[in-house]
Chains A and B, each alone.
Chain A
């Protein structure tokens, strides 16, 4: 799997670089070995788990040589030789020799009826045996052993699992979870013998297995013995070629062996002393290896934290990281023995380092993501155990578990995609990543609120093969392997001043990028070098290019700015006249205390702006939208602060401010909070003694309550703290992340440290924001005066 995966990745990024020949020892093309268990259990067929058929190789001009095992590498001549004498020259060689099952070196191991559990042949042999004989003994109570035992049981055999250790799956589970697991499996009819060491496999006169004898002298009858104790990297070929091996073929961070022309990926490779047997790490290796083979040379494999799911129908089990705890760790545990639910989260310094879930694994991928991103959970510790209580349109409150969902249930409300369509696409098209699912089904590709649910469906459909993309290493887009942070850092350090300069310096794969990276780069450049970088309108989304919001029929909407939500008769009269003059079909009061003119023709926009003579409301931009206010102490009998004027001051201070995403603010004049400051990016609430500032709220896709940043006394302080926070967000958030995502990523404590505790830093941030906004013109005024005319004019024929 790892080898072909590498080729797939390579073909994606450098399709014409190599002539490729693939040797396979097995007589068939490659399949998803992870799904052998469902095949054994009769839930899938071999056909279901084939990944790349012979046609795939042909389509990609890969010469496939099946049934030809490579037996020798001549590194000096750069040639490989198959057992039948076939020779092939190479410039680069990729070893994906996998692993061999470990067979206990006990007497009787070669008897007929003693099998390993590793490949299609083993699986077929087990299925055949289950039809003829009755008693099966599985040696090894790990992941593979239990899946084998479950499969054999489902095929009607009487199965006993023999395990050396005190409890099952001791490398993935703690004692409590293992006992719950054992109970469930016993209910399914499996038998267990723990702390039993196999001494000998007993045979009958015909050379066939008849039983197993243990070290304590006891015996058990067996017609079939399956060894599922572990695997050993297959290093025979590499060793014969003189490549350094130590519990695997030793590779560096770019997957090269000690001979740099030879790469190794998958279970045969030992990276930093670890050989991985799970799929997710193999896929990560494949990506890095392909990257290096394609001469990009920037990807590094730095080891994986892997997670485990047991593929036994009806049993939910998830484990990841350091679940054993101890040594400076803390544990949060939920143990409902009767309900069959056990959850343990292990924390160190407010970060998840491990987890074991049994019975309810809904939040496994979420915990795993937090673990891999090393994200602080200080702020959500008390809710952590109850899970990511929002799973998208069909998954509010975590009630809906992907596995339990019916195929007809809608997952993605934006694009109307139901579960069945997603599962079908994953199976038929061999999808493994969230991005793939988005591309093929559109699910989770719009608002993203069902992402968690889609990931769950993906995880439950492909099993352990699912590798969630690590946010910290996620590339900016498909045109590059660099992350948002790396790109921004390079822009600052190299003082890059244009999109082509960034693309050239960082060796962008597409000559002028894509619709995802260009707007991000344009923003990053303008944010890093205000007044020096020339804005690139062609790299802006249409709304920001035309300074109005495109509607489904291609017309636009116009929202003039009304500072603090205050307007007057003169403005209203002008708006009314414009509605008549340009026959604007809809006039609507917005949620942000402004007026929206909908259905304006693009050609009319500059004229509408000229007649309005009001500033742009930026209702179309990733920028400061509105500062919503209540009437405050000037009129309200409860008001304790002049919220209206505070809102006007904030809006006048910050308007024209572009940001990674839209920014919404509010100011309330008393704790009754009529301006709804609790769901804004920056919310201000007047109290008797001053102002409370809240950050990171959101009223959109997923309602998020803003978090308390600090309390200040004066108007000037409100401007400085709010501005400093927004500048921090502008400088550090990834493009299209709202403040809530940014605050979650870095943690409120970190933000407090830099805004509240560090006065010098706060003042510097605020000064940088003021500098960026200094002299920035009103885009409407400019265009009303004739700037960028051709954007709005149609061509005449």
Chain B
């Protein structure tokens, strides 16, 4: 019998990334990071979402895709990924990691 005890090595923190208006409506910006880029999206209703900038299909940079509704179409092969939970729209299957986002007086914060 095996057991695994897991401990948090590094606590995630909230970091400020930009102002809301730095992201175009129905657009995205990208945050470069050692551990992999993060795409930060803004929908038509000024909500902001953050996903790992890697399409679950072939790793395409989602930040470069066309944002429509609460979805983004990957620029490489057109998979649609839901911004809220990072899941591919059926019948495609796969998931991009999501990151919590908070907007405070026009400033966008990511939890990473």
Contact = CB atoms under 8 A, between A and B. Distances in A.
Interface of A: 439-440, 445-446, 510-515, 518-519, 537-542, 546, 550, 552, 554, 790, 794-797
Contacts of B80: 515
Given A439-B91, A518-B68, A538-B67, A552 B76 contact: yes
11 contacts: A440-B91, A510-B69, A538-B24, A542-B65, A550-B64, A790-B22, A794-B32, A795-B18, A795-B30, A796-B31, A797-B31
A797 B78 contact: no
A512 B68 contact: yes
Interface in B75-89: 75-78, 80
B10 interface: no
Contacts of A440: 91
A-B interface, 10 closest residue pairs, ranked by CB to CB distance from nearest: A515-B73, A542-B64, A554-B61, A515-B66, A542-B75, A538-B26, A795-B31, A440-B91, A794-B32, A514-B68
Contacts of A512: 26, 44, 68-69
A790 B29 contact: yes
B7 interface: no
B66 A519 contact: yes
B24 A537 contact: yes
State the majority secondary structure of interface residues on A. loop
Given A514-B73, A794-B30, 17 more contacts: A510-B68, A515-B80, A519-B66, A537-B24, A538-B25, A538-B66, A538-B67, A541-B75, A542-B64, A542-B66, A552-B58, A552-B76, A554-B60, A554-B64, A790-B22, A795-B29, A797-B33
Interface in B13-39: 15-18, 22, 24-27, 29-33
B17 A797 contact: yes
B40 interface: yes
A797 B17 CA distance: 6
B110 interface: yes
Nearest to A445: B78
A794 B32 CA distance: 7
A145 B75 CA distance: 52
Contacts, number: 75
A112 to B, nearest CB: 49
A542 B67 CA distance: 11
A512 B33 CA distance: 31
Contacts of A554: 60-61, 64
A744 B28 CA distance: 39
Contacts of B61: 550, 554
Interface string B36-68: 000010001000000000000010110011111
Contacts of B69: 510-512, 514
A510 B69 CA distance: 7
Nearest to A499: B26
Nearest to B58: A552
Contacts of B31: 794-797
Given A795-B18, A795-B22, A541 B66 contact: yes
A329 B97 CA distance: 63
A796 B30 CA distance: 9
Contacts of A796: 31
Contacts of B27: 537-538
Contacts of A790: 22, 24, 29
Contact of A795 (B24, B40, B76, B78): B40
A440 B80 CA distance: 13
A35 to B, nearest CB: 23
Contact of A515 (B44, B60, B78): B78
A546 B68 contact: no
A752 B17 CA distance: 58
B74 to A, nearest CB: 9
Contacts of A446: 77
A515 B71 CA distance: 10
A797 B33 CA distance: 9
Contacts of A541: 66, 75
Nearest to A546: B64
Contact of B66 (A439, A518, A550, A552): A518
